């Protein structure tokens, strides 16, 4: 099965897992997804993640984080889509919810949060936002 928007599918799987209070979800594997999971873990939105192979197909198992039955991720949203890419210059990178969330940017130096992009003075494709 071909996928046209791997990141959008990943965000949807995580969002659906949170809505039914699952402990973990399996998302399709890619280096980009692994990098996004690494950022989500370092920012405290997920417990952990690991790469696994199911029937010869690589997947990423994402362990969702809950605080008193409330998910650490309130909203996870895709901004730039395959049909409409959103690119921002370094001066246009803004914080999400006045710093209470994170924006994910694909830059020439790698995947950065909005804070890291401002610190490094780079812009790029606005992948999505999490709070």
DSSP class per residue in 29-95: --HHHHHHHHHHHHTTSEEEEEEEEETTEEEEEEEE-EETTEES-S-EEE-SBTTB--EE-GGG---
Q: How many structural domains compose the chain?
A: 2
CB burial class (10 A; 0-12, 13-18, 19+) of residue 113? buried
Instruction: Using pLDDT thresholds of 50, 70 and 90, give the confidence band for residue 11.
Output: very high
Domain that holds residue 38: 6-71
pLDDT at 2 over 70: no
54 band by pLDDT with thresholds 50, 70 and 90: confident
The yes-or-no verdict on residue 1 having pLDDT over 80 is: no
Question: 111: closest CA among 2, 3, 10?
Answer: 10
Say which residue the tokens 């952990």 belong to. Answer: 48
Residues 100 and 120 in one domain: yes
Q: 98 and 66, same structural domain?
A: no
- For the cut 60, the answer to whether the pLDDT of residue 70 exceeds it is yes
Same domain, 16 and 46: yes
Rounded distance between C-alpha atoms, residue 2 and residue 97, angstroms: 34
Percent of the chain's residues with pLDDT above 90: 95
Extract the tokens encoding 111. Answer: 């995947």
Same domain (yes/no): 66, 39: yes
- Res 94: pLDDT: 95
Q: Note the pLDDT of residue 3.
A: 79
Do 129 and 77 contact (CB within 8 A), yes or no?
Answer: yes
Confidence band, pLDDT 50/70/90 cuts, at residue 51: very high
Would 119 be classed as within a structural domain?
Answer: yes
Pull the structure tokens for residue 45: 């939105």
The rounded distance, in Å, linking the Cα atoms of 27 and 58 is 9
Confidence of residue 93 (pLDDT cuts 50, 70, 90): very high
pLDDT band, residue 35 (cuts 50/70/90): very high
Q: What is the rounded average pLDDT for all residues in the chain?
A: 96
**Looking at residues 27-39, what average pLDDT do you find?**
97
């Amino acid at each position: 099965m071909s996928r046209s928007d791997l990141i959008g599918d990943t965000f949807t799987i995580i969002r659906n897992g949170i809505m039914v209070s699952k402990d973990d979800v399996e998302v399709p594997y890619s280096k980009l997804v692994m990098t996004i999971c690494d950022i989500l873990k370092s920012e405290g939105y997920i417990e952990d993640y690991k790469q696994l192979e199911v029937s010869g197909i690589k997947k990423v198992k994402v362990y969702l984080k809950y605080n008193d039955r409330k998910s650490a991720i309130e909203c996870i949203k895709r901004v730039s889509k395959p049909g409409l890419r959103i690119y921002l210059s370094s001066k246009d990178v803004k914080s999400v919810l006045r710093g209470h969330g994170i924006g994910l940017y694909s830059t020439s130096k790698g995947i950065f949060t909005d804070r890291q992009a401002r610190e490094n003075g780079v812009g790029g494709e606005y992948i999505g936002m999490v709070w």
